[in-house]
Amino acid sequence: MLLRKAVQLARMHRTPWRSIASLERLRQRRLRRTLEHACRRVPCYQRLAAESGLRPADLSAPDALQALPVTTKRDLHARAPKDRIAAGTRPDSVVTLHTSGTTGEIEDILCDRVAIDLRGAAITRSLLHVGYRLTDRIATQTPSTTPASLRPPRVPRRSEITFNRPIEEQLAQLAELRPRVIEGYASWVEQIAVAALAAGLTLRPAVVVATSEVLTEAMRDRIRQAFGVAPIDQYSCWEVGLIAWQCRERRGMHVNADLMEVEILRPDGTHAEPDELGAVVITDFQNRTAPLLRYDIGDLAALSSEPCACGRSLPLLTRVDGRRNDVLILADGSTVMATTVLAGVMREVCGVAAYQARQGRRGEMNLLVEADPRFRAADERRLAARLAGTFQLERVRIERTDRIEPGAGGKRRPVVPLSETAAR
């Protein structure tokens, strides 16, 4: 068992150094195998393939995947488990992961031990490629960014820091642990960085990994200042695990293209050009029990037209613009993706450690800020006017708070859209 995992990890570890042609052959083989398996053995895909006019003989064609429609979160939710599981699967081999999505709803992800091991190996690979050693002490956030069952195969010296404990307690744990790797959601890593700086605690991890949330330049700077090393950005989701990771070049993130097909689609369903922002749609090669084909995970990103200077052949995602539900609705009813623009405005504000824009009504914004005394009443007025102008909002209210609480699953979101606040 352990030997199998070690061999799997060693193989996976070398893949990013394959030639582009060799990687492409491997990918095509895995894509074809996934597609044939899903469309022959999984009821929902059998049906979708038939409805799309895909005959069994067509499944090995290079563009067969594109004949299938995109599956949204809502579609997935509506499918009964038996519709998603491959025929002949032993019931006791199905692993159900109960996860809380970004909006707090519970989703069931069905998979199997092999898929879980592969996901774990993918995380370990991403760390090994940025300087992690298997004997390193790791401080990781808990409740974790990854369900317990998905974590790297038995990292022996992993220590968990509970994110919702008082910050002094978390710092004391870190001071004792002296981890060589710190990993967690971007907002958590930044929070402990700021607290460590304020407390005069010197931590010098070799690797700092910030996952799952958009990492702004301001966050990156503060983390670098506190830990003496720039964070490594990673992009993952519950449904398929780690999607893309930064190498030490830190210019875009390498897509795990050997483990999944990542398509970037325009609203009309055609493929976006390199460097053009589009919806991230994933076909997972890892999960044979309940395959996921052309799954729209709800994020926007762009693939790079350039290879990475490091020489790894895995393609680069250059921009991940976060969740598409991070939108603000303007007074005239039009929408704007707020996360990146908001980050740009907030970068210039002094004294704000964290923020969250909540939209309670169309054309309005409540901005929660964790601010120190440098952020004065005049700054507050200026910021409100600036945001109102930038987003064409009728009203912006700034509200100070001691702490912006992370949502379900520990993720702190810069924007909570109207669709979610109004539902409460």
User: Measuring CA to CA, which residue among 362, 356, 359, 363 is closest to residue 400?
Assistant: 356
Cβ distance 231 to 252 under 8 Å?
no
C-beta of 256: minimal distance to Zn ion in Å? 13
Residue among 167 and 206 whose Cβ is closer to Zn ion: 206
- Compose the 290-309 pattern: x for residues touching Zn ion by CB under 5 A, - for all others: ------------------x-
Tell me whether strands 181-185 and 207-211 are parallel, antiparallel or unpaired.
parallel
Question: How far apart (Å, rounded) are the C-alpha atoms in residues 381 and 392?
Answer: 16
Contact predicate 143/408, CB 8 Å: no
- Chosen residue from 218, 310, 330, 345 binding Zn ion by CB under 5 A: 310
Q: How far, in Å, CA of 170 to CA of 390, rounded? A: 37
Nearer to Zn ion, 314 or 346 (CB): 314
| Pick 23 or 415: Cβ nearer Zn ion | 23
- 311 to 330, contacts with Zn ion by CB under 5 A? 312
Binding residues for Zn ion restricted to 335-354, rule: CB under 5 A: none
Distance CA 350, CA 373 (A): 10
Whole-number Cα distances in Å, 102 to 118, 281, 347, 386: 24, 17, 24, 28
The site string for Zn ion over 77-106 (x = CB under 5 A, - otherwise) reads ------------------------------
Smallest gap from Cβ 306 to Zn ion, in A, equals: 11
Alpha helices in 271-376 (DSSP H): 339-346
* Least gap, CB of 255 to Zn ion (angstroms): 11
Name the residue nearer to Zn ion (CB basis): 255 or 342: 255
Least distance in angstroms from the C-beta of 315 to Zn ion: 10
Q: Which amino acid is at 421?
A: T
Stretch that binds Zn ion, among 86-94, 106-114, 211-219, 310-318 (CB under 5 A): 310-318
By beta-carbon proximity to Zn ion, the closer residue of 68 and 247 is: 247
Separation of CA 136 from chain center: 24
Rounded-to-integer distance, Cα 266 and Cα 263, Å: 10
* Closest distance to Zn ion from the beta carbon of 16 (Å): 8
Cβ atoms of 397 and 366 closer than 8 Å: yes
Give the residue with the Cβ less far from Zn ion, 231 or 291: 231
Judged by CB, which is closer to Zn ion: 174, or 232?
Answer: 232
**Contact positions with Zn ion (CB under 5 A) in 51-70:** none
Cβ contact 325:339 at 8 Å: no
Binding mask 238-257 for Zn ion (x = CB under 5 A): ---------x-x--------
User: Least separation, in Å, of the C-beta of 245 and Zn ion?
Assistant: 9
**76: number of CA atoms within 13 Å, CB side?**
19
Q: Whose Cβ is closer to Zn ion: residue 304's or residue 359's?
A: 304
Which residues contribute to the site for Zn ion (CB under 5 A)? 247, 249, 308, 310, 312
